[in-house]
Amino acid sequence: MRLRFFTLDVFTTRRFAGNPLAVVLGADGLDCATMQAIAREFNLSETVFVLEPRDSVNTARLRIFTPGVELPFAGHPTVGAAVLLATQRAPEMLTRHGVVIALEEEIGLVRCEVVRDASGAVLARFDAPRLPVRGAPAPHAAPLTQALGLEAEEIGFGHHIPSSFSAGVELVFVPVRSRAALDRARPDPAAFPALLGERIGAYLYTSETVEPSSAVCARMFANGVGIGEDPATGAAAAAFAGVAHAFEAPEDGEHEFVIEQGYAMGRPSRIILGSRIEAGRLVAVTVAGHAVLIQRGDLDL
């Protein structure tokens, strides 16, 4: 069997930045074990497999794997796959007025709008398939300091305290007082997984940013999925809308801001997070980002 694959850099407009992604097309004949083996071979944060949709009105079905596990939903594979499918299947429409891509993921249907902007870069925006919900109580600051290599006074700022949220996968969100502390954080190999348990990672964030146009600078240390640090985490960004709503109490209306991630890894990434508040309630979340094609080839299986 020979399958076509592509790699893209996601949440960036330039090559060799952002979060690398592998996309394997025509994967209907693969079983779970083979998909997991291919994801381990690529050894990227995620590899996405494109299959025929269960419902023919949709564009495609996706299965998403880290090197260690399958995920029900992830943001950078959603953005990258949507950009690739739009540019492969409808390049003329993409240039004229954009394309709507409907992706069946394990979490449910994810609707994406893909457009080519004035600079020629391609951007995908998707509606979060689930609104953020609070998870289990977050660890206290003292065990977090040991697990993350920080000082107690470096955790928390403004109204922000550690919390847990999920928009499909649950993470611990840790507010960090400064970017210097954020850059210095290092998970302890024993204490970190013991503290997080079943949660998929810890998302550290600060309001001190590298780029003046960003609102938040973040790092995501993964837990139990076969990677260490993720350069850009769209599912975490979707859940972060719950954090922002809980601790910033934004007014009713539409809101949009940029989360920068991956800068400490030399993989600068920019995630555009949107939300809508009605009567004080978070009612909609969107995640957007660019993606650029890096390579294409064949898998011989």
Q: How far is CA 210 from CA 7, 220, 229, 262, in A?
A: 27, 16, 18, 11
Stretch 174-186: mean pLDDT, rounded? 98
Q: Is the pLDDT of residue 117 over 90?
A: no
Task: For residue 3, count other CB atoms closer than 10 A to its CB.
Answer: 18
In whole angstroms, give the CA distance from residue 128 to residue 130.
Answer: 5
205 sits in which H/E element? strand 201-206
Q: Is 46 a catalytic residue?
A: yes
Kindly indicate the confidence band of residue 95, based on its pLDDT and cuts at 50, 70 and 90.
Answer: confident
**Which residue among the candidates 41, 46, 154, 170 is catalytic per the annotation?**
46
What does the pLDDT look like over 187-241, one tens digit per residue?
Answer: 999 999 999 999 999 999 999 999 999 999 999 999 999 999 999 999 999 999 9
Domains of the chain plus CATH, in order, are 2-127+290-300 (3.10.310.10), 133-288 (3.10.310.10)
pTM beyond 0.75, yes or no: yes
pLDDT reported for residue 118: 83
d(CA 248, CA 195): 27
Q: Which two tokens stand for residue 69?
A: 């596990």
| pLDDT at site 40 | 98
- How does residue 297 score in pLDDT terms, banded at 50, 70 and 90? very high
Asked whether the beta carbons of 223 and 199 are under 8 A apart, the reply is yes
